Structure formats: C-alpha cells, structure tokens
Copies of this chain bind each other. A is one copy, B any other.
Amino acid sequence: MRKFQVVVIGDAMADKEEYEFAEKLGRYLGKKGYTVITGGRSGIMEAVNKGAFEAGGITVGIIPGADFLQANSWCSVVIPTDLGHARNSITALSADVIISIGGKAGTLTELGFGWIFDKPIISVSRFGGWSADLSGKRIDDRRPDNIISVDSLEALKEELEKIVNMSKLN
C-alpha cells in the first residue's frame, strides 16, 4: 500500500527565508512518513526534498529532462520524463495534496492542473508569487472549495493533517 503523497510546488529560485521554510516543511513531511514529490530541481523543490530526505522520508523528483543529473541531490527516486514543461501535469496528478510556495508561470500551470484534477491545494501566502495571488481563491467555478490559504508552517501543518485524516491512506 502506498503512503500519502505530498506534492510541493514552487520556484526553482528561493531566497534564504523561503528555502528554510521549505526545508522545515520537508523535514516535517519526512518525519510523518509521507512521500514527498517535487519537480526535482533547485530552490523550493530542492529545499523540501532535502528536509524530507534527511528526515528519512521517500523523496521523488519528477524532472523535465531525460538525464538523472538534472535532479537535485535529495531525491531518493528520480523519474526523468523528457516531457519538458508538460511534466507539470504529472507532478500535479501524483498528489494526494498539493502545497504551493511562491512561484512563477510554471507553478501557475501546476496550480491550474491541480485544480482541474480536483486535488486539495494548500497555498502559502507569505512569499508572494502565484501562491499568494491565488491563496484563498478559486481558479474557476468547477469546484465549490477554495485554494486553502496559510501564512505559517503551523497553519500549514494543521490544514495538511485535516486532509490526511480525510484520506483513505491515513
């Protein structure tokens, strides 16, 4: 039986504060025994993979290219898709929940796909980017719920555990 799969999306560039936030989040996810999935690259993706990996978790990087070396060093499993940005669809599909931090156009496409695929989305409002712009909002009218807005790691954990508890993988 698979473990609960947390997909974390966000920028390939992250400043110190964002990186530390994502690394702490990763550490939490790893300790809880969730599988942590990212786009496998630098910035937010690397930070969350690193935290989870060091906490003993399974960390997966779903990368755009064909070469394993494109992945950051903290992926215990690397899936090279060679799909370019179309891999963002697969990243979103792999989620029991999506957590979004900061983010530019690539993150926006993942938020759009996550919304279409009916995935619960928790968005961190404090680091700007599309995560802040869309936090607390709906992307369109196909779903009755909103993107869940959180502004701290504590609030994020709380919202996450609600979703885990509703899951059959709990």
Contact = CB atoms under 8 A, between A and B. Distances in A.
B116 A75 contact: no
A89 to B, nearest CB: 4
Contact of A58 (B76, B80, B84, B86): B76
Interface stretch (A15-23, A24-32, A104-112, A155-163): A104-112
A45 interface: no
A2 B37 CA distance: 14
A116 B12 CA distance: 14
B78 A5 contact: yes
Given A2-B71, A116-B85, A93 B80 contact: yes
Interface magnitude class on chain A: 35 or more
Q: How many copies does the complex hold?
A: 4
A82 B83 contact: yes
Interface string A54-90: 0000101010001010010101111111111110111
A90 B79 contact: yes
Contacts of A75: 2
Contacts of A78: 2, 5, 94
Interface string A91-125: 00110000000001110110011011100000000
A35 interface: yes
23 contacts: A2-B68, A3-B77, A35-B77, A62-B79, A66-B93, A78-B94, A80-B90, A80-B93, A82-B86, A82-B89, A82-B90, A85-B116, A88-B89, A88-B109, A89-B89, A104-B140, A105-B116, A106-B116, A108-B109, A109-B109, A109-B113, A109-B116, A129-B140
